[in-house]
Chain A
Amino acid sequence: MNIFFRELRANLKSLVIWSVIMILLIIVGLAKFAAYYNNPASLEILHSLPKAALDAMSLQAFNLTTLSGLYGIMFVYFGLMGGIAASMWGSNMISKEERDKTVEFSLVLPVSRSKLVTAKALAAVVECLAFVLVTWGMSALAVQQYKPDQSFFNFLTLEMEAMFIIELIFLAIGLLLGCAMKKYKRSGSTAVAIILAAYFLSVIGSMQANLDFLKYITPLKYFDAAQLLKTGHLDLTFLSLSAAIIVVCVVAAYRVYSKRDLYI
């Protein structure tokens, strides 16, 4: 328990910095949205199109005259930021002990290695949750001026759930890296490589139809804003895929860390 609270406190600063970036992002997004909201010319065209046609092209999700459209676009960046922050927290949480030469101290405490990892992982999960709540709260606050209806809030809830799951996936990957890498310096840079690769693959996957299979590889593509808006729930296949990744990474992290020769 002491470790848990210590970690929470130690990572507060990082959480604050990420939250500030997120808040800036939401402010920029809504500032841009002002030019599109209820733009009469665009609205007129939209109304002239049959609704079925819009649904078929899943364009409704990216219709920038509505808040849902804006958030459909923003979701990519929410996921990206959540993923980066979480993977950094996960890998740092473990590897910093070796970097700061405090690992000997931590491990002579009367706690097992797995208890140590549990406390740290829980602190990171709490932090991820806090990051989602900041995003959620700021969004809910910022959109007030546009008087959104209930359906937007349902969509926002769904997006935030998806963002939290993406965070958990990257947190688990980061945790595994922190636990498994013998050289503590490697874990951070490997996490960077993974997150950059995931992002680039998600971009390239949406550009080319025959690269569609990439959506199974990169977690940033597991939840698609257009799908979320259309179906109103998280896709079960990808939910189970996410759960599988998280479980595998966490189990591997525990096993590796309890046996590993630590760098002292």
Chain B
Amino acid sequence: MSTTIYWHELRSRLRSVIVWSVAVTAIIFLFSSIFPGFAAQAVTVKELFSRFPPALLDAFGMQNTDLSSVLGFYGFIFVFVQLCLAIQAGNYGFGLVSIEESELTADFLLCKPVSRVQVMTSKLLAALTSLTITNIIVWVVSFVSLALFSGGRPYAVGTLVLILVSIVIFQIFFLAVGLVISLLVKRVRSVTPYSLGLGFGMYVLSAFSAVLTEAKLEYITPFKHMDPAFIVRTMALDTPLVLANGAVSLLALTLSYVMYARRDIHAAS
């Protein structure tokens, strides 16, 4: 690994890391702040619902969402945090090496006395560091906002930790998949449409999973692999799906190394 590349990458990403961290902080605080008022309503609604027959609730998809509990609500807002993290990680993944080609700096970088493997490793580590900074901020903000807005309602800290642990696996997935797609296509002109498509596409595919029953196709999306509602309900990660997710990330990373090593790089003419 080359420390020069590592620090350069980290520095150039600093702004983006700050912006995304502020964004997730704002989301968590904004949504948590309506929790006290919302929980009171939700309890009333829940009582009302408990008098309805379950089949009716089923028809309106209301049976397995309990927004009156701290973690039920947190799980609900965490999906939005995941969405942001997915786009951020996707951005870094898609841009990781493709940006050198689109900004015509690839030939400069590659004539330095570092191997392509070293370039890739340094860049990956820098991206992971950036993601981890955001990750740590999500941890801190989550605990702080729950302490502020839970209104003394008890919640299982272990389950919350489990949800937060899933972030790193989630980030690596989007980083790795973004990277491998960027190497599979001939040229990445602009990163945002790719990362938005991947992030939102995956999100939308799993979006009404809380409402409706399962469909096989939605198992392709990481939002389903690390579904916070599932973690809250069962107090455990969905091990087979998480393992499958990790395997896909690993495969994507390996493939990226192989492909980058033999890639035909467009030089500035």
**5 A-B pairs (CB sep. < 8 Å):** A14-B193, A84-B200, A200-B30, A207-B34, A208-B34
Contact indicator per residue, chain A 185-219, by CB within 8 Å of chain B (1) or not (0): 00011011101100010011001100100000000
Binding site for B on A (CB under 8 A): 14, 17-18, 21, 24-25, 27-29, 31-33, 35-36, 39, 41-46, 49, 59, 62-65, 73-74, 77, 80-81, 84, 88, 92, 96, 99-100, 188-189, 191-193, 195-196, 200, 203-204, 207-208, 211
Interface string of B41-64 (1 = CB under 8 A from A): 000000000000101101111000
Interface check B31, CB cutoff 8 A: yes
**A-B contacts, CB under 8 A, total:** 116
Tell me whether A80 and B58 are in contact in the complex, defined as CB-CB below 8 angstroms, given that A29-B208, A203-B80, A208-B34 are known contacts: no
Q: Tell me the smallest distance from the CB of B232 to a CB of chain A, in Å.
A: 18
Which listed residue, B61, B84, B87, B217, touches A24 by the CB 8 Å rule? B217
Give the CA-CA distance A203 to B207 in the complex, in Å.
13
Q: How near does chain A come to B203, taking the closest CB pair, in angstroms?
A: 9
Main secondary structure of the interface of B (DSSP, over half): helix
The chain B residue with its CB closest to the CB of A17 is B197
Q: Which residues of B contact A207 (CB under 8 A)?
A: 34, 38
User: Measured between C-beta atoms, what is the minimum distance from B77 to chain A in Å?
Assistant: 9
Set A14, A203, A208: member contacting B37, Cβ < 8 A? A208
- On whether the beta carbons of A64 and B60 are closer than 8 Å, the reply is yes
Q: Which residue of A lies closest to B205 (CB)?
A: A28
Return the chain A residue nearest B67 by Cβ.
Answer: A207
For the side of the interface on B, what is the size category?
35 or more
Given contacts A31-B215, A64-B60, A73-B211, contact A96 B196 (CB under 8 A): no
B80's closest neighbor in chain A, by CB? Answer: A200
Question: Is B59's CB under 8 angstroms from A192's CB?
Answer: no
Task: Tell me how far the C-beta of A217 lies from the nearest C-beta in chain B, rounded to whole angstroms.
Answer: 14
Contact in complex: A189, B208 (CB < 8 Å): no
Q: Which chain A residue has the least Cβ–Cβ distance from B61?
A: A64
Please tell me if B112 contacts chain A, counting CB pairs below 8 Å. Answer: no
Instruction: List residues of B (65-119) whose CB comes within 8 Å of A's CBs.
Output: 80, 83-84, 87, 102
When C-beta atoms are compared, the residue in chain B nearest to A70 turns out to be B212
Taking CB atoms, residues of chain A closer than 8 Å to B80 are 200, 203
